A and B are shown apart, each in its own frame.
Chain A
Amino acid sequence: CEDGVHNVTLLRSINNMACVSPREIGTIIYSLGCFPTQADLHDIIAEVEEDHTGCIPLDKFLPAMTKVLLEHKFPPIPEDLLLQAFEVLDKQKKGYLEPEELTKHMTEEGELFTQEEMEEMLTALADHKNNYVYYKDLISQLTIDPDL
């Protein structure tokens, strides 16, 4: 856990910046194995953002981040739930989702995806021949994380 934060700061410092941009906080928190909601993320950003320079100094961000990790604030969600989630969306039990189905859910419900995110998701997950999303095969890709 400490190593995780250490790595993150190392990566940030490699880029020769003494700060993180608010946009990157989500990336960092997710990559450390936490699952905040968008609202949670906004809260964290609000907590650490001093001004609107778009630059959050590391010495402010690190303690907040460490706290998140130590308090297990946003615990991970088990993988079998993910499969169930897909199955809920796949009402006809086809074993796959059509891109339009997935798009509708992702962009109209829950924590809405942007157009860009949706396009990237389809590129990443859809079968390149027929464009269907065979979610069963994807579960392992989306959950296996050798580094943590």
Chain B
Amino acid sequence: MGCGTSVATEPQGKRVEDAWADDTVSPSPALTMKAAVLIQRWYRRYMARLEMRRRYTWNIFQSIEYAGEQDQLQLSSFFSFMLDNFTQLNGNGPDLISQLLDPVVDPWLDRETCYKLIPVPESYTGPRLSFPLSVSDTDALLGAFKEQQTLHARYVLQLLYETKRLLKQMPNIIHLSTSYTNEITICGDLHGRLDDLLLIFYKNGLPSAETPYVFNGDFVDRGKKSIEVVSLLFAYLLLYPDYMHLNRGNHEDHIMNLRYGFTKEVMQKYKTHGREILQLFQDVFSLLPIATVIDGKILIVHGGISDQTDLDFLSSIDRHKVKSAMRFPRRSLEHLDIGHSCKRKRLAAGSRPSSHSKNQRTPNQRRQCGHSRQDSAASTSSSSSSSSSLSSSSSSFCSPRTPSCLSPRPCPSSPSMPYTINVLQVPYLDSLSSVPPPAPPQHDREWKQVVDILWSDPKTQEGCSPNTFRGGGCYFGPDVTRRLLLQHGLQLLIRSHECKQEGYELCHGGQVITIFSASNYYEEGSNRGAYIKVGRELVPRFYQYQVSRTTRKLTLTQRVRAAEGTALKALKEKLFTHRSELLSGLQQYDQNNTGCVSLSEWAQAFESVLRLDLPWRTLRPHLARLAPDGSVDYQSCFEDMEPGIPLPQVTQKLADTLFRYRTDIEIIFNIIDKDHSGLISIEEFRHTWRLFSAHLGVDIDDRAIDDLARSIDFNKDGSIDFTEFLEAFRVVHKLNNKEQQLNGKTAGGK
């Protein structure tokens, strides 16, 4: 066929225009163009919708993450509280709590015997390291970790021991030069994401003389492979101390590790030697250098700076002493300046009145999310005990410098506390920022300078204010950056600490770069990771990547949908765990108990209770149903979720608290359960629970706790299987439940 031949050889595009090949009438070019335009316009709109969804998904994740950090601060302050009130929670001798919180390193760990005596069985097929390390050892580690193997405890301890020895010789600030090396690669947060680290090594090359690296902190927590990540980093550090450089991040901190997963990961992977390993990690973390400078021009720190940052001072301190940002340097009573008047010295954003400052919002709240810690404490209790909750927060967090907290009687601002606390309140992170102290003694200044470096965030407005969101460090403006760079002859500040959608972001007119190396941090597809390469001309170049779990490339739609799903789930859990407050907030608008409020009222109530600055109206369709008249049926918000197993008989308020602090309670139980049996005694349970609720200011009487304890003691043998207890307080999404039942699995949460 004549036409057929010519059709077969011509390119497709031409074919459809060829009238001969068609048996339909070819549309006019004008019509075709109109059709094209229509499709283009529709498609662009579709992409715009997707982009909006992606953005608010991101905002949900970030808001919840920062709000979660507030909760974490609660936990750490609770630990301080526990430590100071009950140092011996369980019998004789120092217990794990004091060990974990106030690490006095077991001298045993300072000797080689700590690892030498650990036998490695024949059956162990993982890498057997030999020190000093060689390339074959690091290759073996890479291979093993890719195969999901776990490094034997003996080698972990040995690795840590050798790393500690090396780090002790290093200064606080490392100075690098590009004249001896090729381009230096700078990576940001990894957070236990082994895949990202492997991807970086694959794309950029393994650490070597040709490929020097700086890793800017936050190697652990959140991700599931923190041990593997940090083992590789330390191994390369030992192998190439001149070409591999590690900065400390705010997550290289044993108290952060308790909350964000590293402690748990270690205890799970190393049941016998977990505690020693953790102790050595604590030590090594506090020995990590806190800053790196390239060619005297580029400063690299994990968080940022403050207007007080003094690099010369930082070079001189004993960084090892700042074990944790959460543990203010302990001082004995003699050293406290009792009766010393608070000189109104400007510390950060100016002077404030003493303990009541914590009950007010500070200005310059980041992203207008005014979620200060004391407000979160206030929102944990219902309106009936609001006075006690407010007072409990202020009573727990008085600075030692305010006289009211030094008296042995209970703090006068907490009349309705169920327990009288007859001890000195532990100073809390906030107090340093909010209350200007007298001329700070040496170790206070050291602590603050280090915390500023590890915790601060840049902001667009000028000035420097306490970072109340994080609870530590500052928000620093472009003027602060300019001044510091000028002062030290620097031209660029590279920092990490914040997740960025593209893996990196510039601010302060290009003087500050944020670099973040954990892709898909919130969810598959949520963000890229990136690293910087900088050569002799000191111009940074950015390299982005994204780890993909599936071999098939996900479309943007699929990724956004997946991320959105996860974000909404997390948000719904938040709704569920704040149910009583939300309901009382909503009922204020619904005096007649109709079950409905207007959309604005609904948005208002949610915003003020949850203190998450999210586009509530846009999210409404995902969270609540509308009544026929267009108002919001607010009860429908909570339909979608239920507890993991049938709840024991508890009040709504108690249930909410248990749901909200489930993770924290789990950590506490795990600490108490020294032999990892999964059981704690009823007495321990009661004790801990009373402390926790007293601390939170949740008004729970003894009998409720006793009933709770007894109801969970299924074996009636005086011990509680706390895993089962916690299972009851895991929020489960009903849809998941049904799906899993259909699949024959037992119901379970995330």
Least CB distance, A129 to chain B, in whole angstroms:
10
Task: Decide yes or no whether A81 CB sits under 8 A from chain B.
Answer: yes
B43 at interface, CB cutoff 8 A: yes
**Residues 26-71 of B at the A interface (beta carbon under 8 Å):** 26-27, 31-49, 51-52, 55-56, 59
Question: Are A89 and B39 in contact (CB-based, < 8 A)?
Answer: yes
Closest Cβ neighbor of B366 among chain A residues: A16
Contact B39 A82 (CB under 8 A): yes
Interface secondary structure of A, over-half rule:
helix
A92 to B19 alpha-carbon distance, docked (Å): 11
**B487 CB–A CB distance under 8 Å:** no
**Chain B residue nearest in CB terms to A123:** B555
Contact with B along A84-101 (1 / 0, CB 8 A): 111011011100001011
Give the contacting residue for A88; candidates B32, B46, B366; CB below 8 A.
B32
Closest beta carbon of chain A to B463's beta carbon, Å:
15
In the complex, A12→B483 CA distance in Å?
Answer: 29
With contacts A3-B617, A92-B22 known, is A86 near B39, CB below 8 A?
Answer: yes
Q: Which of B43, B459, B613 contacts A14 (CB 8 A)?
A: B613
Q: Which chain B residues lie closer than 8 Å to A28 at the CB level?
A: 48
CB within 8 Å of B: which A21-49 residues: 26-31, 35, 37
Is there a chain B Cβ closer than 8 Å to A121's Cβ? yes
Q: Does B599 contact A (CB under 8 A)?
A: yes
A64: Cβ under 8 A from any B Cβ: no
- Collect the chain B residues with CB atoms within 8 Å of residue A113's CB: 40
Quick check: A92 and B16 within 8 Å, CB to CB? Answer: yes
**Contacts of A119-133 to chain B: CB distance below 8 A:** 120-121, 123-124, 128
Of the candidates B45, B56, B618, which one forms a contact with A30 in the assembled complex, judged by CB atoms under 8 Å apart? B45
Give a binary string over B640-656; 1 marks a CB under 8 Å from any A CB, 0 the rest. 00000000000000000
CB of A73 within 8 Å of the partner chain = no
Tell me, yes or no, whether A59 is within 8 Å of chain B by CB: no
Least CB separation from A33: chain B residue? B45
CB distance from B12 to the nearest CB of A (A): 5
Beta-carbon contact of B599 and A120 below 8 Å: no
Name the one of B26, B40, B52, B552 contacting A106, with C-beta atoms under 8 angstroms: B40
Given A101-B12, A101-B13, A111-B40, CB of A11 within 8 Å of CB of B35? no
Q: Smallest CB–CB gap between A75 and chain B, Å?
A: 12
The smallest beta-carbon distance between B459 and chain A, in angstroms, is 7
Partner of B618, one of A106, A141, A147: A147
A71 at interface (Cβ–Cβ under 8 A)?
no
Q: A101 CA to B13 CA in the complex, in Å?
A: 6
A30 and B555 in contact (CB under 8 A), knowing A105-B36, A110-B37? no
When distances are taken between beta carbons in the complex, the residues of chain B under 8 Å from A110 are: 33-34, 36-37, 40
Is B125 part of the binding interface, using a Cβ–Cβ cutoff of 8 Å? no
Residues of B within 8 A of A (CB-CB), count:
49
- Among B12, B34, B37, B47, the residue within 8 A (CB) of A98 is B12
Query: Shortest beta-carbon distance, B29 to chain A, in Å?
Result: 8
CB < 8 Å neighbour of B43 from A100, A121, A147: A121
Contact bitstring B592-627, A, C-beta under 8 A = 1, else 0 = 000000010000000000000111011001000000
Q: Counting CB contacts under 8 A, is B407 at the interface?
A: no
Is A77's CB under 8 angstroms from B38's CB? Answer: yes
Q: Say whether chain B's binding surface is mostly helix, strand, loop, or mixed.
A: helix
Given contacts A11-B56, A91-B22, contact A106 B39 (CB under 8 A): yes
Interface string of B227-269 (1 = CB under 8 A from A): 0000000000000000000000000000000000000000000
Contact with A along B528-560 (1 / 0, CB 8 A): 000000000000000000000000110111000
A66–chain B nearest beta-carbon distance, Å: 16
A100–B16 CA distance with the chains assembled, in angstroms: 11
* Also in contact, A35 and B615, with CB within 8 A (given A101-B16, A128-B552): no
In angstroms, Cα B556 to Cα A111, docked, is 22
Q: Is B24 an interface residue (CB 8 A)?
A: yes
Complex Cα gap A106–B33 (Å): 9
Indicate if the CB atoms of B13 and A100 lie closer than 8 Å. Answer: yes
Closest to B32 in A: A88
Most buried by A among B32, B42, B48, B366: B42
- Which residues of B141-182 have CB atoms within 8 Å of chain A's CB atoms? none
- In the complex, the answer to whether A7 meets B36 with C-beta atoms within 8 Å is no
| A143→B40 contact, CB < 8 A | no
Most buried by A among B41, B49, B557, B615: B41
Tell me if A37 and B41 are in contact (CB < 8 A): yes
- Cβ contact of A35, chosen from B11, B24, B41, B55, cutoff 8 A: B41
- Within the complex, the shortest CB–CB distance from A52 to chain B, in Å, comes to 16
> Are B556 and A91 neighbours in the complex by a CB distance under 8 Å?
no
Residue of A whose beta carbon sits closest to that of B37 = A110
Given contacts A26-B44, A82-B38, contact A109 B555 (CB under 8 A): no
Interface flag for B736 (CB, 8 Å): no
- Given the complex, which residues of B lie within 8 Å of A120, measured CB to CB? 47, 556
In the docked arrangement, what's the CA distance between A27 and B45, Å? 7
Minimum CB–CB distance for A95 against chain B, Å:
14
A108 to B44, CA, bound (A): 16
For residue B460, CB closer than 8 A to chain A, the reply is: yes
A142 touches B43 (CB 8 A): yes
B36 touches A30 (CB 8 A): no
> In whole Å, how far is B103's beta carbon from the nearest beta carbon of chain A?
38
Cβ contact within 8 Å between B27 and A88: yes
Q: Which B352-380 residues have C-beta < 8 A from chain A?
A: 366-368
**With A123-B556, A124-B555, A124-B557 as given contacts, are A30 and B48 in contact (CB-CB < 8 Å)?**
yes
A-B CB contact pairs (8 Å), 10 listed: A14-B59, A16-B366, A91-B26, A100-B12, A117-B47, A124-B557, A141-B557, A142-B43, A143-B42, A146-B621
User: Interface residues, chain B, CB within 8 Å of chain A?
Assistant: 11-13, 16, 22, 24, 26-27, 31-49, 51-52, 55-56, 59, 366-368, 459-460, 552-553, 555-557, 599, 613-615, 617-618, 621
Q: A14-B613, A110-B36 are in contact. List 12 more A-B contacts (CB 8 A).
A: A3-B617, A31-B51, A31-B52, A37-B37, A85-B35, A88-B32, A91-B16, A91-B26, A100-B12, A104-B13, A110-B33, A120-B556
What is the interface of chain A, defined by CB distance below 8 A to chain B?
Answer: 3, 6-7, 10-11, 13-14, 16-17, 26-31, 35, 37, 77, 81-82, 84-86, 88-89, 91-93, 98, 100-101, 104-106, 109-111, 113, 117, 120-121, 123-124, 128, 141-143, 145-147
Lowest 8 CB-CB distances: which A-B pairs, in order? Answer: A30-B48, A110-B37, A110-B36, A85-B35, A88-B35, A30-B45, A85-B38, A7-B615
